[in-house]
């Protein structure tokens, strides 16, 4: 069962309902950024990757290993797009966000967020929710990748995520489904 939406709502509500003081200070420290299609944020090192909430639009999230970006997630409105907790392997990994359409992002640095969490003594709750959210998202994709053949995987993905299909380029969806772009095109009947 996919619980990622459930944990996302809990995390989002937590960030903005933990109390007037925490909310006001967090909101004051958040920057609004507008990205046109194809524009990006980052890449960010693990230590300074901000927490991003998508206000409008869509984001394809990529992970940087060396010089190659690999798609690891697809995010839409009001998704916590990335955070260093997803990079729990360390090393020299970096991430960046690429807009799939005109997108508005609300962003706060992790350093500032950590300061506010410590000040308002809500660290254990926040970390528990964040861990549950990312675990659920990872399980969601892994369960999808177990489906064989690729045509069936694509069918399940489209039926469960019609909004993602509309927002993201085909090559991005192909990467997310772990399919070669030409294989995905054949499945979609483009050839």
Angle at 54 between CA 89 and CA 88, to 5 degrees: 5
Least confident of 90-94, 106-110, 131-135, 159-163: 90-94
56 close to 103: Cβ distance less than 8 angstroms? yes
Q: What's the chain's average pLDDT?
A: 83
Q: How confident is the model at residue 190 (pLDDT cuts 50, 70, 90)?
A: low
86 close to 134: Cβ distance less than 8 angstroms? yes
pLDDT above 80 (res 93): no
How confident is the model over 76-80, as a mean pLDDT?
A: 83
How does pLDDT run across 96-137, given as a tens digit for each residue? 889 999 999 999 888 888 888 888 888 888 888 888 887 888
Tell me what pLDDT residue 33 has. Answer: 95
């Amino acid at each position: 069962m996919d619980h990622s939406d459930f944990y996302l709502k809990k995390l989002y509500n937590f960030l903005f309902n933990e109390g007037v003081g925490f909310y006001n200070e967090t909101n004051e420290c958040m920057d609004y950024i507008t990205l046109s299609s194809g524009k990006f944020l980052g890449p960010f090192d693990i230590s300074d990757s901000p927490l991003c909430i998508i206000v409008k639009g869509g984001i394809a999230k990529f992970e940087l290993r060396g010089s190659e970006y690999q798609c690891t997630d697809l995010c839409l409105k009001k998704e916590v797009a990335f955070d260093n907790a997803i990079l729990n392997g360390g090393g020299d990994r970096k991430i960046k966000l690429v807009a799939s359409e005109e997108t508005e992002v609300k962003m706060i640095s992790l350093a500032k967020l950590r300061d506010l969490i410590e000040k308002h003594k809500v660290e254990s709750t926040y970390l528990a929710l964040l861990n549950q959210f990312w675990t659920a998202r990872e399980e969601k994709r892994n369960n999808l990748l177990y489906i064989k053949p690729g045509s069936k995987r694509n069918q399940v993905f489209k039926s469960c995520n019609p909004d993602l299909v509309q927002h993201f380029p085909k090559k991005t969806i192909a990467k997310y489904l772990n399919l070669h772009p030409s294989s995905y095109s054949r499945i979609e009947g483009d050839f």
